[in-house]
């Protein structure tokens, strides 16, 4: 059946939100959407991960209750708005679906191809990609005008920013609908053009990569580099500690997008970063990266 688009210029009313990917980012997005009053459907390829995400969200909401950020009633209502599962067919009635899968273009493209037939014609699609071309991702869908980037920062419940990125085909109604949604989630938006890594990661990841080069070349140790940037540049977290928090595989993926997309040697991923990823030392999520997290106090691995 041919897709019937909403009238040009019409804003989509958002009541139900789908989230694809129940990892750290997806669960955080589901968390803030549910607390903002939206019905949320959270999907993951792993039923175990989808169920675990609900537990993570409940634990994070508990912390918000203890800090006086939300009430017990708001927590209960928020959790009651989230359902989880493993299939894309659960998004049949969603007004917008936000993809938060791995930072891998092939995986994302496959998801969007499978997702589109499940959606109603008026549904919008957003990608939480931190670096990949929105225009390229939109091109595999049946609705590039209704597709855009909505890049949340980690951890989503705490970080105020959402980067909004139009693809070449994104229409103004889609952009304005998503901008208003971001406002209702209590986020501040920054609009970025569709260039590799957008604004935040275009600036942040080369700094992290340079910190890895500084370690690789023996200019300083892990602790010296992080201490220097925390106390010398007033950063709340050192760049290598931050890399571990982001995930070294994600850092490498973003640097590779920058290097491939901009063809400038200054974006070449540091060989040491590549080596850590090859070793499976991906950072805090696996217990080892530039720090070893097997004890209460993280210990530098170099």
CB 302 within 8 A of CB 222: yes
**DSSP E strand stretches across the chain:** 16-20, 39-43, 82-85, 96-99, 124-127, 147-152, 161-166, 188-192, 291-292, 299-300
Q: Report the run of H or E that residue 212 belongs to, with start and end.
A: helix 200-216
User: How far, in Å, CA of 200 to CA of 91, rounded?
Assistant: 30
Exactly one of 84, 131, 151, 241 is catalytic; name it: 151
Exactly one of 94, 163, 182, 241 is catalytic; name it: 163
Does residue 235 have an active-site annotation?
Answer: no
CB 89 within 8 A of CB 118: yes
Q: What is the DSSP letter of 221?
A: -
Does residue 151 have an active-site annotation?
Answer: yes
Exactly one of 43, 84, 94, 130 is catalytic; name it: 130
Does residue 55 have an active-site annotation?
Answer: no
Using the structure block, give the residue that is written with the tokens 């499940």.
118
CB 34 within 8 A of CB 78: yes
Using the structure block, give the residue that is written with the tokens 């500690």.
241
Exactly one of 43, 94, 133, 201 is catalytic; name it: 201
Q: What is the DSSP letter of 288?
A: B
Q: How far, CA to CA in Å, does 188 sit from each of 70, 83, 192, 266?
A: 20, 27, 13, 30
CB 27 within 8 A of CB 15: no
Cis-peptide into 155, omega within 30 deg: yes
Q: What is the DSSP letter of 154?
A: S
Quick one: which of 78, 87, 83 has its CA closest to 53?
Answer: 83
Active site residues: 130, 151, 163, 201
């Amino acid at each position: 059946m041919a897709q019937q688009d909403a009238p040009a210029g019409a804003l989509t009313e958002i009541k139900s939100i789908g989230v694809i990917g129940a990892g750290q980012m997806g669960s955080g997005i589901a968390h803030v959407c549910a607390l903002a009053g939206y019905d949320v459907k959270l999907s993951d390829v792993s039923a175990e991960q989808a169920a675990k995400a609900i537990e993570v969200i409940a634990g994070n909401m508990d912390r918000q209750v203890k800090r006086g950020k939300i009430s017990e009633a708001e927590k209960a209502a928020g959790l009651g708005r989230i359902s989880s599962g493993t299939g894309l067919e659960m998004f049949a009635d969603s007004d917008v679906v936000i993809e938060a899968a791995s930072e891998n273009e092939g995986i994302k493209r496959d998801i969007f191809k499978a997702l589109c037939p499940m959606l109603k014609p008026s549904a919008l699609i957003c990608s939480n990609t931190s670096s990949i071309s929105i225009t390229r991702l939109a091109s595999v869908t049946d609705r590039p005008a209704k597709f855009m980037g909505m890049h949340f920062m980690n951890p989503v419940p705490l970080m105020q920013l959402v980067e909004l990125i139009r693809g070449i085909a994104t229409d103004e109604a889609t952009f304005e609908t998503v901008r208003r949604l971001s406002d209702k989630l209590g986020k501040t938006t920054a609009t970025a053009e569709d260039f590799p890594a957008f604004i935040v990661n275009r600036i942040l990841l080369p700094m992290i990569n340079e910190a890895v080069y500084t370690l690789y070349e023996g200019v300083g140790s892990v602790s010296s580099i992080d201490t220097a940037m925390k106390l010398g540049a007033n950063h709340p977290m050192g760049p290598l500690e931050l890399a571990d928090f982001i995930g070294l595989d994600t850092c490498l993926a973003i640097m590779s997008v920058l290097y491939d997309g901009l063809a400038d040697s200054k974006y070449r991923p540091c060989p040491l970063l590549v080596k850590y990823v090859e070793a499976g030392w991906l950072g805090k999520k696996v217990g080892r990266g530039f720090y070893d997290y097997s004890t209460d106090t993280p210990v530098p691995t170099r």
